[in-house]
Structure 1
Amino acid sequence: MLPAARTFGEFIRIPIRFYQTIGEDLYEHRSPHRIRRLILKALLYIGFLNFNVLVLGEIIYFVKALNSFATVLEATGVAPCIGFSFVADFKQIALTVHRQTLREHLDQMEELFPKTVRQQAQYKLPQRERVMRRVMGVFTLLCLAYTTTFSVYPALKATVQYWLLGAPTFERNFGFAIWYPYNATGKTWVYWLTYMGQVHGAYLAGVAFLSADLILVASVTQLCMHFDYISRCLEDFAGASKKCAEEDIKYLQALVVRHAKCLELSEHVNSIFSFSLLLNFLTASLTICFIGFQVTASSTEDIVKYIIFLTASLVQVFVVCYYGDELMTASLRVGDAAYNQNWFECDTRYKRLLIILILRSQKPASIRAPTFPPISFNTYMKVISMSYQFFALLRTTYSDKGN
């Protein structure tokens, strides 16, 4: 029995489902269930209200901790959490601002998606999707492991110590250092209500941060798949000649139109994600720096949590840079494939179309952030280099003050 063809909904299912868990439904306009839409919208608004109150509490705690050298280590521990929260918040803001553009983008990607098993085999969809799923799986595991470890660990540790190891009291600690205008650990019900608010805020931040990048990964994966398909069609098309010029021209016209559509969709990706990518790369160096400092200066217990956080941050930047590099490489390959054809015996009109295709491919499709060059592996190396420079400066400053 032949396998069923994959649908676009299945291809992009992971980020869509994650968004729905926090109340964000990207296909809300297609849903006929009004009550469900209202419930999801209420969940989203309440969740982000709680999350932003927590971020405000983190900022106040950070400012207070900076006033004393004795608590500067605590301040550097809060800083990466604030950076992560800001990026998650602005990714959601960017999604809200560009919601209509994103919906149009997804609709056009769905229209371009290969529909039959035979087409999907020609596009090498199974291989592309397999790699994409693995990348999404690793990134998702690390991102949610970070938020879960920070938010759940204090209660889990206190439970084990109190119920299994016979500790005299249940330690009421929190996973994140946040200032509250009330005594958050005084009463049991207040503590647990506050604690659950932190857990939900951490999950919402993780999903908002993660899902935007997963949609970016899915979009770039499909665009690379189309660019590679166009390249293979151009390389394999050896029938171009003056004898069947009309058929050859129609064949090439279809590829030119598809190539132009892919370039248009790559610009959609930039218009939707450019602002969040800018903030992402601006904060990435400082975030990685502060996390690295915590790893070298914290207790063994905290080091494990911060190593997970550091790994997630490094992987996130690497994934974006990797797919940026893949998109540029795949789009440049189209021009090379067009030139490598047996074009010198073709009709003049065919040659003109081929020139247009080659000229368009000279400016590769890319992921860009405002004021930044196209994102590639060079961007990743610059982020790591800047992170190390900030880390060395912070480590030296802290050591000098300690002496």
Structure 2
Amino acid sequence: MVFDSYNISLMAQLRQQLSVLSGNIRALADVGGRELLSVAYSSQTMKSPTHVKSNHLCHRLRSIIRHHQAIIRNVESLEECLGSMLLGQSLSIGASICFQLFQVATSAESLAEAGKFGCYLSVMLAQLFVYCWFGDDLITESEKVSAAVYSTVTSLEGCPVSLKRSLLLMMTRAQRPLHVTAGGFFDLSRESFVNVLNVSYSFFAILRNFKEE
């Protein structure tokens, strides 16, 4: 449980970093908008040239891109460390669910015994559900990064083309959501949790039919 809690905390931290990244991207649009208004006002009063001084924006954008790349590397490192373990854990939990249901249906002779099997089954389900819950949050938050970049690009119409190109490249990368998988076979998400339950119940139904025959 301590090891699982540590892994979950890492996933939650990465999700929080993605949330901070989205906020920084939206703030970039606000800063760029203020600079464009300032330049437009200065050009009308003849106090400065009309071109956009984008050094500050480029510096902020470089910092945002580095932050995004660091998050991507951390997610890949977490995937490399936990992928095989999560696959084995998912398979073992799915098999445990199947056999526990089969034992409850066929050999539970009292309510206390059924309750014992039910408690063990609840713990196993909770262990898998927590991983899938935070894994789904990570996917959702990474998808918000692409939306934040898109809104920023549309807000910075007067900025240099090079800055827009960098934002578009970042948006293209962000359209591939970051995720943690179980050995590369499936993403850890709420949908995957439901799929594991469905497969486990299907095998349980097959075993019960064999037992009845």
- Give the equivalent residue in structure 1 for 2:44: none
Runs of 4+ in 1 over 6 A off after TM superposition: none
Q: Distance in 1 between matches of 2:140 and 2:83?
A: 20
Question: Can you give the 5+ residue segments of structure 1 that lack an aligned partner in the other structure?
Answer: 1-209
Q: Distance in 1 between matches of 2:184 and 2:70?
A: 25
1:230 aligns with 2:43: no
The question of whether the paired residues in 1 share the 8 Å contact of 2:14 and 2:138 is answered with: yes
Q: Distance in 2 between matches of 1:282 and 1:236?
A: 43
Shift of 1:399: 2.7
The question of whether the paired residues in 2 share the 8 Å contact of 1:249 and 1:349 is answered with: no
1:239 to 25, 31, 54: 31
Question: 1:5-154 residue pairs with structure 2 within 5 A?
Answer: none
The question of whether the paired residues in 1 share the 8 Å contact of 2:83 and 2:184 is answered with: no
Shift of 1:295: 2.5
Shift of 1:274: 0.5
Q: Give the counterpart letter for 1:311 in structure 2.
A: S
1:364 aligns with 2:177: yes
The question of whether the paired residues in 2 share the 8 Å contact of 1:338 and 1:357 is answered with: yes
- Could you say which structure has the greater relative contact order, defined with CA pairs below 8 angstroms and 6 or more residues apart? 2
Provide TM-score, normalisation by structure 2.
Answer: 0.84
Provide TM-score, normalisation by structure 1.
Answer: 0.45
Report the RMSD for the aligned CA atoms in angstroms: 1.5
Between the two proteins, the alignment pairs up a number of residues equal to 191
1:302 aligns with 2:94: no
Q: Distance in 2 between matches of 1:363 and 1:283?
A: 29
Q: Give the counterpart letter for 2:115 in structure 1.
A: V
Q: Give the counterpart letter for 1:251 in structure 2.
A: R
Q: Give the counterpart letter for 1:290 in structure 2.
A: F
Shift of 1:280: 1.4
Q: Distance in 2 between matches of 1:222 and 1:211?
A: 16
2:88 to 276, 279, 282: 279
1:358-399, CA deviations, whole angstroms, 9 ceiling, x for partnerless residues? 122122210012241322122111101111111111222223
Q: Give the counterpart letter for 2:8 in structure 1.
A: V
Question: 1:142-291 residue pairs with structure 2 within 5 A?
Answer: 210-237=1-28, 238-240=30-32, 241=36, 243-291=52-100
- Give the equivalent residue in structure 2 for 1:384: 197
1:314 aligns with 2:125: yes
Q: Distance in 1 between matches of 2:101 and 2:27?
A: 50
The question of whether the paired residues in 2 share the 8 Å contact of 1:228 and 1:330 is answered with: yes
Q: Distance in 2 between matches of 1:331 and 1:213?
A: 22
- Give the equivalent residue in structure 2 for 1:353: 166
1:373 to 181, 186, 190: 186
The question of whether the paired residues in 2 share the 8 Å contact of 1:266 and 1:365 is answered with: yes
- Give the equivalent residue in structure 2 for 1:326: 137
The question of whether the paired residues in 2 share the 8 Å contact of 1:253 and 1:353 is answered with: no
Q: Give the counterpart letter for 1:272 in structure 2.
A: C
Counterpart secondary structure, 1:391: helix
Shift of 1:326: 0.9
Identity of aligned residues (%): 26
Counterpart secondary structure, 1:338: helix
Q: Give the counterpart letter for 2:128 in structure 1.
A: V
Counterpart secondary structure, 2:115: helix
1:53-107, CA deviations, whole angstroms, 9 ceiling, x for partnerless residues? xxxxxxxxxxxxxxxxxxxxxxxxxxxxxxxxxxxxxxxxxxxxxxxxxxxxxxx
